[in-house]
Amino acid sequence: MPERTEILFKIAGPDLEPGNVDLLPTLALASAYFALLARVAAHNGSHLDFTGFDVRKGSLALATNTTAPDVAKASAAMAGTFLKSGVVPRRSGLRPLVDHVRDAQRAFSTDESVTLCINSWTQPVLSAETTASGPEALASAESLRCEVVRIGGERPRVRLISRSEGRAFSLSLGRDLAEQLAAYLYREVDVEMTVRRNTEGNIIDGSVRAFEPIDEKGEPLDALRGWFAPHKPYWDSVEDVENDLDRH
């Protein structure tokens, strides 16, 4: 039976403890990252397996095993380059996996880090050095109509979908604002935000400044329907609507 080497996925942050780590973003990043490593290995003609799962008691580390530690190291180093630059080989199938990891990274604050450890060898998964810079650092104030699809966390973040955007995106927000916005889960609201976009125009990070429920503002079409409902019998009996409107 092939010898297995342990791999640790370590999370660190100034206020993080085993009792307050946000589970869903952590597992989302781990899952996306290990899937990327396996795909990078396949792209290079190798096989990379991960078996077993454990959480180190009293620490912020997830553990798994592999029978190909050297492949894992090479794949992690290459994945780090893709995540930093955002550039992947054409027709490699790596683009969605890289984007998935970068999306998952944005659920963490800038003072948190994640490191892959294979024996004494380490590779940053999340740090100031692994996040893209340059044009992506430009921020702008925007207002978008969005559907709230997920909200919460120790450091609150909200997942939004907007018809004007090509994909869902996550933003940070204060606890009080998060509690207010949570009441509109799976509903549309107008959100005022400060966001950063990448060179492709996608929102990659940002924060919510305020929001306004659409229901409370009222929609013009809703107002028209409200007026029309009690008058429907009259208008149903009118043969020439245009002439009737002219007379009124």
Provide the CATH number for the domain around residue 174.
2.40.50.140
Establish if 152 belongs to a structural domain: yes
DSSP bridge pairs for 113: 12
Residues 9 and 95 in one domain: yes
> Which one of 93, 126, 159 terminates a domain?
126
Mind listing the pLDDT tens digit for each residue in 83-130? 887 778 888 889 899 999 988 888 887 778 899 999 999 999 987 555
Establish if 235 belongs to a structural domain: no
Q: What strands lie across the sheet with 51-55, from one edge to the other?
A: 51-55, 61-66, 5-12, 113-118, 121-126
Is the Cβ–Cβ distance between 95 and 162 less than 8 Å?
Answer: no
Amino acid (1-letter code) at residue 54: D
Establish if 121 belongs to a structural domain: yes
Whether the pTM exceeds 0.85: the reply is no
Give the residue numbers spanning the domain of 208.
134-217
Mind listing the pLDDT tens digit for each residue in 214-232? 865 555 555 555 555 665 5
Number of domains in the chain: 2
